[in-house]
Amino acid sequence: MSTPFTTVAGVTVDTRHWIGGERVASAGTFTDTSPIDGAVIGEIARGTEAEAAAAVAAAKAAFPGWAATPRAERARVLHAIADGVEKRLEELAVVETTDNGALLRSHRRGVMPRVAHNFRFFADWLLRLDHEDFETRGHTNHVSWDPAGPCVLITPWNAPLMLATWKVAPALAAGDTVVLKPAEWSPLTASLLADIAAEAGLPAGVLNVVQGYGSEIGDVLTSHPDVRRISFTGSVPTAQRIAASAAARLTPLSLELGGKSPLLVFADADLDLAVDLAVEQYDNAGQVCLAGTRLLVEETVAAEFTRRFVDKAARLRQGDPRDEATDIGPTIHPRQLEKIDGFVQRALAAGARAVVGGHRRDGQYYAPTLLTDVAQDSEIVQEEVFGPVLTLQTFADEDEAVRLANGTRFGLAATVVTGDPARAERVTARLVAGTVWVNCFFVRDLQAPFGGSRQSGVGREGGTWSFDFYCDLKNTVTAPKGWQDHG
């Protein structure tokens, strides 16, 4: 490598791996570019099988000491990491905006504060993690959460640091050690996290960061005999490859995968609220797994809903995400832009109508798009686009609404907009989804289980569910008698 550092908006970022408490270079690099303008950000260490194996070895070596660290001390270190995130919040925000193109105002006000909260929440939850002892025929049952071992965490590019720390924080709190593999399209804040964790006093080898392409190092990480847990957020095809790799050793998996979530609008809904929630699905240029990209609107109000939607969408400002006035930034990468446009153009060729957008803009920007006249079995309705593209279908009654809503292979989330509490209860009970919002969207609490049904995932994250995954649960049964007198 010509230089092990790059400077982003005045912030110095080390572009090498972080393994065993040290910076480690690779023979090769890959180029990281900004979606804002296509400019080269830096040359990033391109991990090989050797670096991946070294990271697992470092995590294995560090595991006994970290697992034996008292809960209170682990919690203290996690709070210190949160302190470091808050201290460097502005730096993290500007680096991540440059790297993945999401709005700077969102990073400052919501995303990076949530990163710190992830560490604080799981630190505090660790200290209250408990199961009341219970008796069986006079025998005492005691449930405990034992650290499982080294974990491989593979994270996506759409909210790089927040989604990484959803996994890193509970894994560290549980007493596990971590090999973090960030997405190659947005690797920089993972490197900064390594610095912050080291400054907070996290022992060497407890957190390792390996950069590179999943096709080159993924199998080493996911099939390694010393890895005890694998958590992945991303696409279904990649998850299938990871699952196949992990299967030989029966390594437990947590998979948060794609979505094709419905947003149901009933005739008794507050239409202004419904339109606000629908337009909100363009957040992060539609690169949100939870986004309600399938608008299902009761036919008696569909025309009025569409009119209001078009009017509100026309007021969105798309442009440089560093500008406070911008509502929608760019797509992450030229390949993603091609994928989005391919979906839209095939839909238009098949008879869909673009009520809003339907085309590229300069650079890596795709116009917010709403397509109507789409069939339930069409590609644009069935497959995840992961861009600022929504479809609109109508329904006649609750039964049809539920049938359409459940009519894909996914089941990540759903949103219901109605003015009738009884209807909300009926409909939500019938929806296949890991999370359902009623008259709101994206209200997330780390106490709640998060994950998907069907091909949207395996397992749940959040609260005790995270510890259930990152730990080996043990039940110790003690007889009421039989102790020897050692007096």
For the chain, how many structural domains are there in total?
2
In tens, the pLDDT along 84-105 reads 999 999 999 999 999 999 999 9
Evaluate whether residue 486 is within a structural domain. Answer: no
Query: Do residue 370 and residue 235 come from a single domain?
Result: no
Query: Do residue 305 and residue 405 come from a single domain?
Result: yes
Evaluate whether residue 274 is within a structural domain. Answer: yes
* 33: CATH: 3.40.605.10
* 408: CATH: 3.40.309.10
At a CB cut-off of 8 Å and minimum separation 6, what does 401 contact?
A: 264, 266, 296, 298, 395, 427
Query: Do residue 224 and residue 296 come from a single domain?
Result: no
Helix axis angle, 89-100 relative to 188-199, nearest 10°? 160
Query: Do residue 296 and residue 220 come from a single domain?
Result: no
Query: Do residue 232 and residue 280 come from a single domain?
Result: no
CA distances from 351 to 232, 345, 373, 390, 405 (A): 36, 10, 7, 15, 21
Average pLDDT score, the chain: 96
pLDDT at 87: 98
**Is the pLDDT at 428 greater than 80, yes or no?**
yes
pLDDT at 3: 79
pLDDT at 425: 97
Which of 256, 298, 384, 461 is catalytic? The answer is 256
Evaluate whether residue 60 is within a structural domain. Answer: yes
| Mean pLDDT confidence for 369-386 | 97
Query: Do residue 352 and residue 398 come from a single domain?
Result: yes
Query: Do residue 246 and residue 292 come from a single domain?
Result: no
Evaluate whether residue 444 is within a structural domain. Answer: no
In tens, the pLDDT along 103-136 reads 999 999 999 999 999 999 999 999 999 999 999 9
| Mean pLDDT confidence for 37-54 | 96
Query: Do residue 292 and residue 398 come from a single domain?
Result: yes
Q: What are phi and psi of 14, to 5 degrees?
A: -75, 130
* Under 8 Å between Cβ of 339 and 41: no
Q: How far apart are CA 9 and CA 443, in angstroms?
A: 31
Query: Do residue 213 and residue 290 come from a single domain?
Result: no
Which of 91, 184, 289, 298 is catalytic? The answer is 289
Query: Is 289 tagged catalytic?
Result: yes
Q: Which two tokens stand for residue 417?
A: 């907009």
In tens, the pLDDT along 456-469 reads 999 999 999 999 99
Evaluate whether residue 354 is within a structural domain. Answer: yes
Q: How confident is the model at residue 451 (pLDDT cuts 50, 70, 90)?
A: very high
pLDDT cut 90: percent of the chain above it: 97
Query: Do residue 432 and residue 460 come from a single domain?
Result: no
Query: Is 51 tagged catalytic?
Result: no
pLDDT at 352: 98
pTM of the predicted structure, to 2 decimals: 0.95
In tens, the pLDDT along 173-195 reads 999 999 999 999 999 999 999 99
Query: Do residue 180 and residue 250 come from a single domain?
Result: yes
Q: How confident is the model at residue 1 (pLDDT cuts 50, 70, 90)?
A: very low
**Is the pLDDT at 485 greater than 70, yes or no?**
no
**Is the pLDDT at 487 greater than 60, yes or no?**
no
Evaluate whether residue 449 is within a structural domain. Answer: no
In tens, the pLDDT along 254-301 reads 999 989 999 999 999 999 999 999 999 999 999 999 999 999 999 999
Query: Do residue 355 and residue 272 come from a single domain?
Result: yes
In tens, the pLDDT along 205-250 reads 999 999 999 999 999 999 999 999 999 999 999 999 999 999 999 9
Evaluate whether residue 481 is within a structural domain. Answer: no
| Residue 362: domain span | 262-438
Evaluate whether residue 155 is within a structural domain. Answer: yes
